[in-house]
């Protein structure tokens, strides 16, 4: 239970470094869950929430408002990124390959502009711009993959499957590796590139281990449970009936 409480939003830094994004995801899943229960109400709330976040972002950009917690959490720019993901999921199948090429190019241009503003003008607060670029690129690449224009190796597919575990593990593992290297006196001996390489590899390996040992097992159990529930409902079995 303590792990669940650690993911609840609060004004400060969470115990797990990656948990700050998970708090936003919990909020999104709560609203999306409402759409599953009642589609019209859920979609209405989701649209209203997104538009309110966008309005708050524009007002912050114009220095018209300065939100404090909890409104700073509920109406942050990051919440707009969920809308990008929804739109991407709805549109990628209707794209032609040529259209996807244009979308990919647009994503590259948006990313280049955002990167230029960050590197050369020290501009901050561009999460939505980078998110838009990522959404455009991902939409195009998924369309290419479905059309058979892009082939991904099995190794990269496995790494993609484990990406969430890698995301959760990389922070603590990097800190742990840095402490070990320092204790062994290697931190001052190794080049920066070598040290970073060791940290990256350690984070990837730890994430893959977590995925295989924990995440995949949980997904397998949940999948069997959900499939069983669906079959029971379709066959008219009461809850807990095995169909025998």
Euclidean distance between CA atoms 190 and 19, whole angstroms:
31
Check if the beta carbon of residue 84 is closer than 8 Å to that of residue 50: no
* pLDDT tens, N- to C-terminus, the chain (244 residues): 444 555 566 555 666 666 778 888 889 999 988 988 899 999 999 999 999 999 998 888 777 778 888 888 899 889 999 999 999 999 888 889 899 999 999 999 999 999 998 888 777 778 899 999 999 999 999 999 888 888 888 888 888 899 989 988 888 898 888 888 888 877 777 777 888 888 899 999 999 999 999 988 888 888 877 666 554 544 444 444 444 4
| Predicted pLDDT at 17 | 66
| Predicted pLDDT at 242 | 45
| Predicted pLDDT at 8 | 60
| Predicted pLDDT at 227 | 64
Q: Quick one: CA dihedral 70, 167, 135, 216, positive or negative?
A: negative
Euclidean distance between CA atoms 138 and 30, whole angstroms:
25
Q: What secondary structure letter does DSSP report for 214? A: I
Euclidean distance between CA atoms 65 and 187, whole angstroms:
45
H or E element that contains 233: helix 216-235
H helices of 62-126, in order, are 71-74, 80-91, 97-121
Q: State the maximum Cα–Cα separation within the chain, in Å, rounded to a whole number.
A: 69
- Please, what's the b/e burial string for 130-158 (b: 16 or more CB within 10 A of its CB; e: otherwise)? ebbbbbbbbbbbbbbeeeeeeeeeeeeee
Euclidean distance between CA atoms 228 and 202, whole angstroms:
38
DSSP, collapsed to helix, strand or coil, labels residue 244 as coil
């Amino acid at each position: 239970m303590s792990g669940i409480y650690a993911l609840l939003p609060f004004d400060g830094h969470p115990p797990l470094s990656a948990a700050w994004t998970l708090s936003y995801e919990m909020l999104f899943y709560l609203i999306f869950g409402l759409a599953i229960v009642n589609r019209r109400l859920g979609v209405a709330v989701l649209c209203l929430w997104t538009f309110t976040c966008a309005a708050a972002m524009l007002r912050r950009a114009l220095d018209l408002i300065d939100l404090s917690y909890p409104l700073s959490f509920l109406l942050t720019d990051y919440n707009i990124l969920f809308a990008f993901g929804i739109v991407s999921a709805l549109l990628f199948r209707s794209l032609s390959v040529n259209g996807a090429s244009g979308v990919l190019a647009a994503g590259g241009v948006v990313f280049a502009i955002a990167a230029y503003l960050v590197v050369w003008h020290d501009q901050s607060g561009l999460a939505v711009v980078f998110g838009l670029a990522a959404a455009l690129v991902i939409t195009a690449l998924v369309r290419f993959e479905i059309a058979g224009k892009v082939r991904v190796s099995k190794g990269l597919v496995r790494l993609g499957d484990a990406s969430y575990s890698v995301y959760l593990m990389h922070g603590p593992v990097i800190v742990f590796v840095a402490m070990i290297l320092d204790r062994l006196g290697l931190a001052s001996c190794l080049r920066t590139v070598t040290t970073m390489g060791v940290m990256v590899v350690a984070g990837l390996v730890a994430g893959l281990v977590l995925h295989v040992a924990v995440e995949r097992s949980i997904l397998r159990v949940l999948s069997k449970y959900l499939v069983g529930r669906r079959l029971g409902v379709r066959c008219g079995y009461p809850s807990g009936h095995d169909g025998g």
